[in-house]
C-alpha cells in the first residue's frame, strides 16, 4: 500500500474520494432512515440488492480460473488464479457491505449471530446466504493468503494446507450464486422470480460477466507490471466468457418464450420490463440497451476479429458484457420482480442521489481493496518484495 507509482496513488486517491462521499451519504441514511433512498413499500429492494446480486456473480467467477489452475496444474492459469481470488475478496466484501447498507437496523446485526442472536437456519434462504458468503470470503482469504505468504518466504507451499480448500471453494463458488438465486426463486408469491431457470441463468451470467471483469484486471496488471503472465490465461477466460454468454442468451430466450407465448397472468412483470405496462415503462430503455450490448459483444467475441487488436479495442466487448449483465441483474431482475406488486399496483422505482452515492462508495471500497491486494500479490509474485531476513 505504501509503495507504488503515481498512477497507483492517483487511483487510490480517486477511490478515497468516492469512499468519503459514500460514507457521508450513508451517515445521512442512518440519520434519516432508508426513506432517503428511492425505495418504497411497493419496490422494497433497489440498487443495493441489485449490486449485491451482480457482485455475488463476480465473486463466484474466480472459480473459473481455480478449476484449471489447481486441478489440472495449468501453470499459466495458476498465476491468474491468485489475481482472480483477489478480485473475489473485493467482490465479497462489496456484497456484504451492500447487504448491510440495505438494512433498516444495522445496529442489530448481532441478532443474527448465535448464541446471543437467533439465526433462522435452515428455514430462511437469507440465513443460508449469510453463511455461504462469509464462508466463501474465508476460503478466498485463506488460499491466496497462504500461497502468497509461502511465496514471500520463498518456501514451497504444503499441499494439504491449501488443496482441500481449493476443492471446497470450487463447490462453494457455485453455491454462493445458487443460494442467491434461491433467495428469489423460493418466493411463490413473486411469479417473476419463482422460476427454476433463474438459478442456471444466474450461474451462466456470472460466469460471463465475472471472468470478463477479471480479464480487464489481468490486462491492467499485464500492461502495467512485470507480472509473468502469458496470453493463454486471457484467451482461456475469453472462451469462458463467450460460452457462458451464449448459454445465458439461450436461457433468456427460453424464459422469454415461456412467458410471452403462454401469455398467462404471470407475464405482467416481464411485459413491464420489456414493453412497459399501462403507460409505465421506466425500465424498457435499460433492458433493450442490455440486450443489444449483450448480442453485439457476443458476436464480436464469436468472430474473434478483435482478439489481436489493441488493448482498448479487444476489451470493449468485455466491458459491454459487464455493463449488459449488470443492467440485467438490477433493472432486469430485481426491480421488475416488485412491479406490479402482488396486488397489481404499478409503482416505478428510481434510485435517489443519496442511494447512488452510497453505492459508488461501496464500489470505491471494493475496488480499493482489490487494488491494494492485487498490487501486493503482484509485488510478491514478481519478487519485488521479500522478507527482511532473506
Partner 1 sequence: MPDKAEAFNLDEFLQKHFHQMSEEEIQKTLERLTRQYNEKYDREDFSVVADGPQHGVKFAYALNLSKCIGCRKCVHACVEENNQHRGTEERGDQVEYIRVLEMEKGSLDVEKAVHDYDHEVPAEGKYYMPVQCHHCNDAPCVKACPVEATWQEPDGIVVVDYNWCIGCRYCAAACPYWARKFNWVEPRLPAEEINPDTHYLGNRPRYKGVMEKCTFCINRVRKGLNPACHDICPTGSRKFGNLLDPDSVIRTIIETKRIYILKEEVGTDPSFYYFFD
Residue of 254, 264, 345, 353 that binds partner 1 (CB under 8 A): 345
Assigned C-alpha cell, 38: 428511492
> Which of these, 297, 301, 363, 294, lies nearest to 324 by C-alpha position?
294
Nearest distance from C-beta of residue 43 to partner 1, angstroms: 10
Residue of 119, 152, 182, 260 that binds partner 1 (CB under 8 A): 119
Question: What does the DSSP assignment read for 271-302?
Answer: HHHHH-BTTB-TTHHHHHHHHHHHHHHHHHHH
> Which of these, 197, 217, 282, 178, lies nearest to 79 by C-alpha position?
217
Residue number, 21 or 112, with CB nearest to partner 1: 112
Q: Does 125 bind partner 1 (CB under 8 A)?
A: yes
> Which of these, 358, 348, 380, 229, lies nearest to 278 by C-alpha position?
348
Binding mask 201-240 for partner 1 (x = CB under 8 A): ----------------------------------------
Contact 284, 273 (CB under 8 A): yes
Q: Does 389 bind partner 1 (CB under 8 A)?
A: no
Q: Does 352 bind partner 1 (CB under 8 A)?
A: no
Nearest distance from C-beta of residue 163 to partner 1, angstroms: 33
Nearest distance from C-beta of residue 217 to partner 1, angstroms: 31
Q: Does 338 bind partner 1 (CB under 8 A)?
A: yes
Q: Which among 109-117, 147-155, 167-175, 205-213 is the span making contact with partner 1, rule CB under 8 A?
A: 109-117
Instruction: Please give the residues from 28 up to 57 whose contact with partner 1 meets the rule CB under 8 A.
Output: 32-35, 37, 39-42, 44-45
SS3 sequence, 37-71? CCCCCCCCCCHHHHHHHHHHHHHHCCHHHHHHHHH
Q: Does 130 bind partner 1 (CB under 8 A)?
A: yes
Assigned C-alpha cell, 87: 478480485
- Contacts of 344-348 with C-beta under 8 Å, sequence gap 24+, read 344/268, 345/42, 346/272, 346/277, 346/278, 346/280, 347/40, 347/42, 347/43, 348/43, 348/280, 348/282, 348/283
Is residue 336 packed enough to be buried (19+ CB in 10 Å), middle (13-18) or exposed (0-12)? buried
Q: Does 268 bind partner 1 (CB under 8 A)?
A: yes
Nearest distance from C-beta of residue 35 to partner 1, angstroms: 4
Q: Which among 9-17, 113-121, 158-166, 225-233 is the span making contact with partner 1, rule CB under 8 A?
A: 113-121
Nearest distance from C-beta of residue 89 to partner 1, angstroms: 23
Q: Does 126 bind partner 1 (CB under 8 A)?
A: yes
Residues in touch with partner 1 (CB under 8 A): 32-35, 37, 39-42, 44-45, 99, 102-109, 111-112, 117-120, 123-127, 130, 183, 187-190, 265, 268, 337-338, 340-345
Amino acid at each position: 500500500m505504501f509503495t507504488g507509482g503515481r498512477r497507483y496513488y492517483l487511483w487510490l486517491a480517486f477511490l478515497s474520494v468516492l469512499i468519503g462521499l459514500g460514507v457521508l451519504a450513508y451517515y445521512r441514511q442512518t440519520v434519516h432512515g432508508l426513506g432517503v433512498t428511492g425505495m418504497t413499500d411497493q419496490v422494497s429492494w433497489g440498487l443495493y440488492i441489485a449490486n449485491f446480486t451482480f457482485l455475488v456473480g463476480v465473486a463466484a467467477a474466480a472459480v473459473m480460473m481455480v478449476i484449471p489452475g489447481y486441478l489440472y496444474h495449468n501453470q499459466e492459469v495458476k498465476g491468474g488464479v491468485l489475481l482472480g481470488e483477489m478480485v473475489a475478496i473485493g467482490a465479497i466484501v462489496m456484497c456484504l457491505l451492500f447487504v448491510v447498507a440495505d438494512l433498516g437496523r444495522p445496529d442489530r446485526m448481532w441478532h443474527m449471530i448465535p448464541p446471543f442472536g437467533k439465526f433462522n437456519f435452515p428455514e430462511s434462504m437469507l440465513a443460508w446466504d449469510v453463511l455461504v458468503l462469509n464462508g466463501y470470503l474465508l476460503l478466498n482469504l485463506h488460499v491466496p493468503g497462504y500461497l502468497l505468504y509461502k511465496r514471500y518466504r520463498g518456501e514451497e507451499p504444503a499441499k494439504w494446507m491449501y488443496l482441500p480448500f481449493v476443492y471446497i471453494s470450487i463447490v462453494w463458488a457455485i453455491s454462493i450464486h445458487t443460494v442467491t438465486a434461491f433467495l428469489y426463486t423460493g418466493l411463490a408469491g413473486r411469479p417473476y422470480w419463482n422460476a427454476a431457470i433463474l438459478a442456471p441463468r444466474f450461474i451462466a451470467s456470472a460466469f460471463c460477466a465475472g471472468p470478463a471483469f477479471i480479464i480487464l484486471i489481468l490486462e491492467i496488471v499485464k500492461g502495467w507490471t512485470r507480472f509473468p503472465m502469458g496470453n493463454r490465461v486471457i484467451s482461456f477466460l475469453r472462451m469462458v466468457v463467450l460460452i457462458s454468454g451464449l448459454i445465458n442468451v439461450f436461457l433468456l430466450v427460453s424464459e422469454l418464450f415461456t412467458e410471452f407465448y403462454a401469455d398467462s397472468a404471470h407475464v405482467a412483470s416481464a411485459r413491464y420490463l420489456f414493453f412497459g405496462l399501462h403507460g409505465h415503462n421506466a425500465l424498457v430503455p435499460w433492458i433493450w440497451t442490455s440486450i443489444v450490448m449483450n448480442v453485439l459483444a457476443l458476436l464480436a467475441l464469436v468472430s474473434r476479429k478483435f482478439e489481436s487488436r489493441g488493448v482498448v479495442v479487444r476489451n470493449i466487448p468485455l466491458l459491454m458484457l459487464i455493463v449488459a449483465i449488470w443492467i440485467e441483474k438490477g433493472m432486469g431482475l430485481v426491480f421488475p420482480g416488485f412491479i406490479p406488486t402482488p396486488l397489481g399496483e404499478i409503482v416505478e422505482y428510481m434510485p435517489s442521489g443519496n442511494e447512488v452515492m452510497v453505492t459508488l462508495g461501496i464500489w470505491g471500497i471494493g475496488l480499493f481493496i482489490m487494488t491494494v491486494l492485487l498490487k501486493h500479490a503482484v509485488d510478491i509474485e514478481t519478487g519485488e518484495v521479500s522478507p527482511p531476513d532473506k
